Amino acid sequence: MNSTQELLNLIHLNQIDDYNFEGFSKTVGSPNVFGGQVLAQAINAATRTITNGRILHSLHSYFLEPGHLELPIVYNVSIVRDGGSFSVRRVTAAQNGKTIFILSASFQREETGYEHQIDMKSNIKFPEDLLSWTDLLETYREVLPSRVRGFFEIERPIEFKPVQIANPLEKKDLPPFTDVWVKLKGDVSSLSRGEKQQILTYISDYNILTSAINRHASKANWNNTQTASLDHSMWFFRDFDYSDWLLYSIESPNTSNARGFAKGNLFTRDGVLIASVAQEGLMRPK
């Protein structure tokens, strides 16, 4: 999977009937189904039951079981409410009749009102001055740990350029934040607003727990720590396009009880805040 169209094909579900849909999986380097894929597919299912033109503004979800890469996922949508301004949908994802994921999503008709947003970091490096994951693989292939090298070798429809690059061989605690520029590969000129939101949901599950791992990097790494997304929430504020790089700016306020919490903001290059994300994940020492 190496283009935006391939990603859209993955996210767009087969329709079984009015409220049931079926999807399939692609690996991102993990033995289990990628959480961002399930999130995006669930939003695709929910959006296809919205018939009044309302726009997704928030989602809240729980990952209950690790998904099996080889099995189809069936998404069932329940209509919770269609009010005067908001529509709410509940989505349940299952494999072999077993629930693996639940999501609630709220859609709103477009309205005008007060406006403010926080600023993007002012001292951030721009993507032209940074190495991508592909560049890092080509430059450091021989010295990268095998698991990191294998992860970078997976073809993706997204290019990532991290602002901070940590040396995986250096055992040193790092600040609990990470900033990553992201850009889609391929033609992005005809994406609908719903498709843009579904792709952004997919992207939002990448990199987010890195900020929590960073704070404990002298001891914790991806090899000796069991990690998994536990829950994921997202809020969409403004329309945007994918013709340029987006900045995903993430920080981790807390880790405790074998869980790490992280929150992030997604900005356009010129500093427009388009969405915010929050996630808690398992961080259990093996």
DSSP states along 16-31: EETTEEEE----SSSS
Tens-digit pLDDT profile for residues 221-240:
877 888 889 999 999 999 99
H/E segment holding residue 8: helix 4-11
Tens-digit pLDDT profile for residues 12-57:
999 999 999 999 999 888 888 999 999 999 999 999 999 999 999 9
Known catalytic residue at 229: yes
Overall pTM surpassing 0.85 (yes/no):
yes
Among 41, 197, 205, 211, the one annotated catalytic: 205
Residue that the structure tokens 């961080």 belong to? 283
Among 25, 104, 249, 279, the one annotated catalytic: 279
Q: What is the CATH number of domain 4-110+126-285?
A: 2.40.160.210
- Would you put residue 36 in left (φ > 0), alpha (ψ -120 to 50) or beta? alpha
Tens-digit pLDDT profile for residues 119-130:
999 999 999 999
Known catalytic residue at 37: no
Q: Three-state DSSP class for 203? A: helix
Q: Is the confidence at residue 197, as pLDDT, over 90?
A: yes
Among 41, 87, 229, 249, the one annotated catalytic: 229
Known catalytic residue at 218: no
Among 38, 66, 101, 93, residue whose Cα is nearest residue 226? 66
Angle at the Cα of 100 from the Cα atoms of 283 and 66, rounded to 5 degrees:
40
Burial call 228-260: b when 16+ CB within 10 Å, e when fewer: ebbbbbbebeeebebeebbbbbbbbeebeeeeb
Residue that the structure tokens 């880790």 belong to? 255
